[in-house]
Structure 1
Amino acid sequence: MIDLAKLPLSITSFSEFCDRGKIYVDKTDLVADLAKFDAPIFLSRPRRFGKSTLVSTFHELFSNGLDKFQGLKIVTDNLWNDRTYNVIHLDLSKIKEQSDDINFNETFLQQLDDAFIHSGYEKILNEEIKTPARYLDIRFNQKDISGLVLLIDEYDAPLTAVMGDKGEFERRRRVLSNFFSTIKAYSGKFRFIFITGVTRYSNTSIFSAFNNIKDISFNPAYGALVGYTQEELEHYFKDYIEYAAKALNRKEKTCKYTYELILDELKNNYDGYSFDEDNEWHVYNPWSILNFLSEPQRGFKPYWLDTGGAKPSLLVNYLNTFIDKKVKKTELIDYLNLEFTKVTSVAELSPSIVSIEDE
């Protein structure tokens, strides 16, 4: 009998995976490879694809070493022999909301101070410190700090949330720009910097300040860094796929569902995502796979879309603001036509999606 409780639905913490005996799809060979880099690293992926779990894995590795990695590739293949470090872990998706009583600069400051305190440093935030950039200046000049690991998840969430508000967007962009410029100025203080996001805003100073940043978003070597490959799906979830076939047969009073048929349907519904420029790797969306396997009798529902994970907030906000002002509906319809896209050259399509500048 399978244990549905082992499916890591809504779990992003690596430590929680271990402590609660959840299924962890082992990508620690790639984690070890990336963790050896000195240059800042940036990864862009859609929401609910595993970015936060990846960031949490880095957090556990750098802060506590290999204690919870026993049995994983990073240990069995002897891929890691580094020491532990103080980790500053920021999740900017938690401070993207906007209201009259919420100030992005202040909430960012508080999260930054909390992250340092959580890593063992004393509290320094006071009314004299007005910006995250100033906070870093004081923090790094007050005490001899070095060898820090900086992890920033969903760096772009606060910007995407206010695309329709030009003034607030610019205020937040300026805060982030100054923050990353200051990080660059103190780059010698950091052992490792890893940043994730859904898209790439060129004017936040991540990509201008960090002239040595390594963008692995389209690198084939890391095409399977998040998401489940076909091999991983069948290796880690074989018993659950067999259970799904039985559950659907039982519900529909049939015997047509087999292991192979479930695999075909999973591919038809949840496969097809490829993020690397060589189209070498195809991965399944983890959120959809885990939701289906936890309740297979419900059928192959579009879980990712239904829960908002696939909602392209950037595009929706843009269209709501600029449709028929800067983008005509007729032009949009052309781009939604598959045949038009097929015959349109890569040179025409690609530059517009590399980064987001200004409007």
Structure 2
Amino acid sequence: MARKQLPIGIQTLAKIRAKDCYYVDKTPIALRLIAQGSYFFLSRPRRFGKSLFLDTLKELFEGNRALFEGLHAEQHWDWSVKYPVLRFSFGGGMVQDAADLQSRLDSHLKRYEDETGCPRTDSSHAERFRSLIHHLAEQTGQRVVVLIDEYDKPILDRIEDQDVALQLREVLKDFYSVIKDSDAHIRFALLTGVSKFSKVSIFSGLNNLEDITISPEYSSICGYTDHDVDTVFAPELPGLDRGEIRRWYNGYSWRGESVYNPSMCCCCFATASSSPTGSRPARPPFWSSCSRGGASSRPRWKTSSSRPRCCRASRWTTSPPKRCCSRPATSPSPASATAPGGWRCSCPIPTWKSRPA
């Protein structure tokens, strides 16, 4: 098998096929997802292939058969039907405030209104979104496909400023609620991001989404499996330590088949080194921010002392199990966590110090 170009940084199927890059065929999973239902939510880390998967769905629904030559979908999809697709991405740039977000929504909607000839009769973005869906359904005679990439990024950009984050949440909640209200005109909808906000916040108006984030059958919806690496990327393996590649880049799992991080794996092949290379999946800034601010639900243990300490209190109980807590040791706590050495915290939200007190 001849070597091909590595798809580093490429997020569109058309570009991958045009440049004859390596491509792991995700169309069997895409077709299974489409057959299963209509409304889905998927969370995955950054640089894991979410945008490419959404673009694959877009090309599939738009009926661009030439891009799927030799892939599973070529012989298993009805190419006689083409669906109108609305794709929104919030991955570019940092949103500053609600006005900035509304300006971006306006740009997205204006582009589609101009392309489709949809009259702009409403002022709010939600109503314009609704009108656009209805217009496309009537214009094409087919229900509309809605794909939203990085749905949560505007909020995560400003998660440290609670007032601004709440304003952004309200704007997005109002916008996304249109998807549920337009059910009669929606063929398929998928929202992706790196976090999952509860249904009482951003999803309260869109509570019909099926969360496939930790569904075992969709564990490999993004990323490369062992089989993918051994077959699709076989020309890149000679001279590399296959065991080391597996040790460094495999192991991501969502209750199903484990996968390799695609970005790091391709960087490994590009440098022809089995050692760690490339960029790690980007840690969203809100993870670090929340950990510092006391909102993290994952304990961060202080290791500079033989006795770990919780940042919410400095007192410890004297009877086992030893606890650091702002409440009596007998108080129930669903978020209790155990530190190294058997120390326990029963704070409502344990947030362990990562530096000396």
Q: Structure 1 length as normaliser, TM-score? A: 0.76
For 2:288 and 2:63, the matched residues in 1 are separated by 41
Match of 1:68 in 2: 67
Instruction: Give yes or no for the alignment of 1:139 onto 2:132.
Output: yes
Residues 40, 141 of structure 1: alpha-carbon distance in 2 compared, 3 angstrom cutoff: closer
Match of 1:166 in 2: 162
Question: Size of the alignment, in residue pairs?
Answer: 312
Alignment of 1:169-318 (within 5 A): 169-202=165-198, 207-242=203-238, 245=239, 262-276=241-255, 280-297=256-273, 300-305=275-280, 309-318=281-290
Match of 2:327 in 1: none
Residues 137, 271 of structure 1: alpha-carbon distance in 2 compared, 3 angstrom cutoff: closer
**Equivalent position amino acid for 1:33 in 2:** R
Unaligned runs of 5+ in 1: 246-258, 353-359
Match of 1:112 in 2: 109
For 1:235 and 1:20, the matched residues in 2 are separated by 19
Match of 1:28 in 2: 27
Q: In 1, are the aligned partners of 2:147 and 2:191 still within 8 Å (CA)? A: yes
Residues 339, 188 of structure 1: alpha-carbon distance in 2 compared, 3 angstrom cutoff: same
Unaligned runs of 5+ in 2: 303-308, 313-322, 324-336, 351-357
Task: Note the C-alpha offset of 1:343.
Answer: 8.7
Larger Rg: 2
**Residue 70 of structure 2 aligns to a residue in which SS?**
coil
Match of 1:356 in 2: none
Task: Note the C-alpha offset of 1:25.
Answer: 0.4
**Equivalent position amino acid for 2:18 in 1:** D
Residues 12, 183 of structure 1: alpha-carbon distance in 2 compared, 3 angstrom cutoff: same
For 1:103 and 1:153, the matched residues in 2 are separated by 18
Q: In 2, are the aligned partners of 1:93 and 1:154 still within 8 Å (CA)? A: yes
Identical residues among aligned pairs (%): 26
Query: When you count helix as a share of all residues, which structure comes out higher?
Result: 1
For 1:152 and 1:167, the matched residues in 2 are separated by 24
Residues 115, 93 of structure 1: alpha-carbon distance in 2 compared, 3 angstrom cutoff: farther
Instruction: Give yes or no for the alignment of 1:157 onto 2:153.
Output: yes
For 2:53 and 2:146, the matched residues in 1 are separated by 14
Q: In 1, are the aligned partners of 2:170 and 2:202 still within 8 Å (CA)? A: no
Q: Deviations over 1:206-249 (max 9, x none)?
A: 6433333111111111111111100110101111111xx2xxxx
For 1:159 and 1:189, the matched residues in 2 are separated by 28
CA RMSD after TM alignment: 3.4
Residues 241, 121 of structure 1: alpha-carbon distance in 2 compared, 3 angstrom cutoff: same
Q: In 2, are the aligned partners of 1:90 and 1:111 still within 8 Å (CA)? A: yes
For 1:186 and 1:123, the matched residues in 2 are separated by 16
Q: In 2, are the aligned partners of 1:155 and 1:195 still within 8 Å (CA)? A: yes
Match of 2:330 in 1: none
For 1:192 and 1:116, the matched residues in 2 are separated by 20
Q: Structure 2 length as normaliser, TM-score? A: 0.77
Task: Note the C-alpha offset of 1:313.
Answer: 2.2
Residues 343, 134 of structure 1: alpha-carbon distance in 2 compared, 3 angstrom cutoff: farther
**Residue 188 of structure 2 aligns to a residue in which SS?**
strand
For 1:313 and 1:173, the matched residues in 2 are separated by 17
**Residue 36 of structure 1 aligns to a residue in which SS?**
helix
Residues 293, 152 of structure 1: alpha-carbon distance in 2 compared, 3 angstrom cutoff: same
**Equivalent position amino acid for 1:89 in 2:** R
For 1:96 and 1:209, the matched residues in 2 are separated by 25
Instruction: Give yes or no for the alignment of 1:43 onto 2:42.
Output: yes
Q: Deviations over 1:300-344 (max 9, x none)?
A: 234233xxx3324221121243479xx99734799xxx9848999
Match of 1:103 in 2: 100
**Equivalent position amino acid for 2:193 in 1:** G
